[in-house]
Amino acid sequence: MSAIDFSDPTTIALLTDALTAAGVSGLEISWPGGQLRIVVATGEEARINVSSTAQPVSAAQPVVVKAPMAGHFCSGNSSRSVADRLPRSVSAADTLGFLRVGPILLPLCAGRAGILTRQLAEPDTLVGFGDPLFEIEPQS
Protein backbone atom coordinates (compact mmCIF):
# COMPACT_ATOMS: atom_id res chain seq x y z
CA MET A 1 0.00 0.00 0.00
CA SER A 2 1.39 3.42 -0.93
CA ALA A 3 1.58 6.28 1.55
CA ILE A 4 -0.85 9.20 1.29
CA ASP A 5 0.75 12.57 0.54
CA PHE A 6 -0.95 14.87 3.07
CA SER A 7 0.78 17.95 1.60
CA ASP A 8 -1.00 17.41 -1.76
CA PRO A 9 -3.67 20.14 -2.32
CA THR A 10 -6.05 17.60 -3.91
CA THR A 11 -5.81 15.30 -0.87
CA ILE A 12 -6.37 18.21 1.51
CA ALA A 13 -9.38 19.44 -0.52
CA LEU A 14 -10.92 15.94 -0.50
CA LEU A 15 -10.39 15.61 3.26
CA THR A 16 -11.85 19.09 3.86
CA ASP A 17 -14.92 18.32 1.73
CA ALA A 18 -15.45 14.99 3.52
CA LEU A 19 -15.16 16.62 6.96
CA THR A 20 -17.59 19.39 6.00
CA ALA A 21 -20.12 16.91 4.53
CA ALA A 22 -19.90 14.72 7.64
CA GLY A 23 -20.34 17.68 10.01
CA VAL A 24 -16.95 17.01 11.64
CA SER A 25 -15.27 20.08 13.11
CA GLY A 26 -11.67 19.05 12.57
CA LEU A 27 -8.97 16.49 11.95
CA GLU A 28 -5.33 16.19 12.97
CA ILE A 29 -2.90 13.72 11.41
CA SER A 30 0.72 13.34 12.58
CA TRP A 31 3.47 11.31 10.95
CA PRO A 32 7.23 11.15 11.50
CA GLY A 33 7.89 13.87 8.90
CA GLY A 34 5.16 16.36 9.78
CA GLN A 35 1.61 17.16 10.77
CA LEU A 36 -1.68 18.13 9.06
CA ARG A 37 -4.44 19.93 10.95
CA ILE A 38 -7.78 20.85 9.34
CA VAL A 39 -10.31 22.84 11.38
CA VAL A 40 -13.66 23.38 9.70
CA ALA A 41 -14.97 26.79 10.71
CA THR A 42 -18.36 28.39 10.27
CA GLY A 43 -19.14 29.98 6.92
CA GLU A 44 -18.00 26.86 4.99
CA GLU A 45 -14.33 27.83 5.22
CA ALA A 46 -11.66 25.57 6.64
CA ARG A 47 -8.39 26.42 8.32
CA ILE A 48 -5.49 24.15 7.44
CA ASN A 49 -2.03 23.87 8.96
CA VAL A 50 0.60 21.62 7.39
CA SER A 51 4.01 21.51 9.03
CA SER A 52 7.12 19.46 8.51
CA THR A 53 9.72 18.42 11.03
CA ALA A 54 12.48 21.03 11.08
CA GLN A 55 15.97 19.92 10.13
CA PRO A 56 18.97 21.01 12.20
CA VAL A 57 20.50 24.16 10.74
CA SER A 58 23.83 25.82 11.31
CA ALA A 59 23.50 29.06 13.29
CA ALA A 60 25.53 30.93 10.65
CA GLN A 61 23.12 30.23 7.78
CA PRO A 62 19.68 31.80 7.43
CA VAL A 63 16.66 29.50 7.39
CA VAL A 64 14.36 29.80 4.38
CA VAL A 65 10.65 29.31 5.00
CA LYS A 66 9.28 27.61 1.88
CA ALA A 67 5.77 27.18 0.49
CA PRO A 68 4.36 23.80 1.60
CA MET A 69 2.20 23.68 -1.56
CA ALA A 70 1.12 25.79 -4.52
CA GLY A 71 -1.19 28.76 -3.87
CA HIS A 72 -1.38 32.53 -3.73
CA PHE A 73 0.94 34.11 -1.16
CA CYS A 74 -0.72 36.56 1.24
CA SER A 75 1.53 38.56 3.54
CA GLY A 76 -1.04 38.76 6.35
CA ASN A 77 -4.15 40.55 7.59
CA SER A 78 -2.59 43.84 8.56
CA SER A 79 -2.63 47.00 6.48
CA ARG A 80 1.19 47.03 6.51
CA SER A 81 3.06 44.26 4.71
CA VAL A 82 5.57 42.07 6.53
CA ALA A 83 8.37 43.67 4.48
CA ASP A 84 7.55 47.06 6.05
CA ARG A 85 8.26 45.61 9.52
CA LEU A 86 11.67 44.03 8.92
CA PRO A 87 13.90 43.03 10.52
CA ARG A 88 11.98 41.77 13.56
CA SER A 89 12.13 38.95 16.09
CA VAL A 90 9.86 35.94 15.59
CA SER A 91 9.11 32.83 17.62
CA ALA A 92 8.72 29.37 16.10
CA ALA A 93 4.92 29.61 16.37
CA ASP A 94 4.55 33.06 14.78
CA THR A 95 2.41 33.23 11.65
CA LEU A 96 4.33 35.11 8.96
CA GLY A 97 1.64 35.09 6.29
CA PHE A 98 -0.80 32.80 4.53
CA LEU A 99 -1.08 30.66 1.44
CA ARG A 100 -4.50 30.92 -0.22
CA VAL A 101 -5.73 27.80 -2.01
CA GLY A 102 -9.27 28.53 -3.20
CA PRO A 103 -11.30 29.52 -0.11
CA ILE A 104 -8.71 28.01 2.25
CA LEU A 105 -6.03 30.03 4.05
CA LEU A 106 -2.99 28.01 5.11
CA PRO A 107 -0.99 29.78 7.85
CA LEU A 108 2.74 29.99 7.23
CA CYS A 109 4.55 29.56 10.54
CA ALA A 110 8.13 30.61 11.17
CA GLY A 111 9.07 27.14 12.40
CA ARG A 112 11.93 28.47 14.53
CA ALA A 113 12.84 31.48 16.62
CA GLY A 114 15.09 34.10 15.12
CA ILE A 115 15.21 37.39 13.27
CA LEU A 116 12.92 37.66 10.24
CA THR A 117 15.15 39.49 7.80
CA ARG A 118 13.56 39.15 4.35
CA GLN A 119 10.27 38.51 2.62
CA LEU A 120 11.19 36.73 -0.61
CA ALA A 121 7.77 36.56 -2.33
CA GLU A 122 5.56 39.43 -3.43
CA PRO A 123 2.03 39.55 -1.93
CA ASP A 124 -0.78 38.07 -4.07
CA THR A 125 1.61 36.16 -6.33
CA LEU A 126 1.17 32.52 -7.27
CA VAL A 127 3.87 30.40 -5.65
CA GLY A 128 4.71 26.73 -6.14
CA PHE A 129 5.65 23.95 -3.76
CA GLY A 130 9.04 24.71 -2.19
CA ASP A 131 9.24 28.31 -3.38
CA PRO A 132 11.14 30.48 -0.85
CA LEU A 133 8.88 32.92 1.03
CA PHE A 134 10.86 34.26 4.02
CA GLU A 135 14.39 34.25 5.42
CA ILE A 136 15.06 33.92 9.16
CA GLU A 137 18.42 34.28 10.88
CA PRO A 138 18.46 31.82 13.79
CA GLN A 139 19.18 33.29 17.23
CA SER A 140 22.43 32.18 18.76
Report domain extents, the chain.
1-53, 55-140
Q: CA–CA distance from 23 to each of 16, 28, 29, 38, 102 (Å)?
A: 11, 15, 18, 13, 20
Closest CA to 68 of 81, 54, 89, 82: 54
pTM over 0.75: no
Local confidence band at 79 (pLDDT 50, 70, 90 cut-offs): very low
Residue type, 36: L
The residue ranking higher by pLDDT, 55 or 99, is 99
Q: Give the mean pLDDT of 30-41.
A: 72
Query: How far, in Å, CA of 6 to CA of 128, rounded?
Result: 16
Q: How large is the average pLDDT for residues 30-58?
A: 63
Is 55-140 in CATH node 2.40.50.100?
A: yes
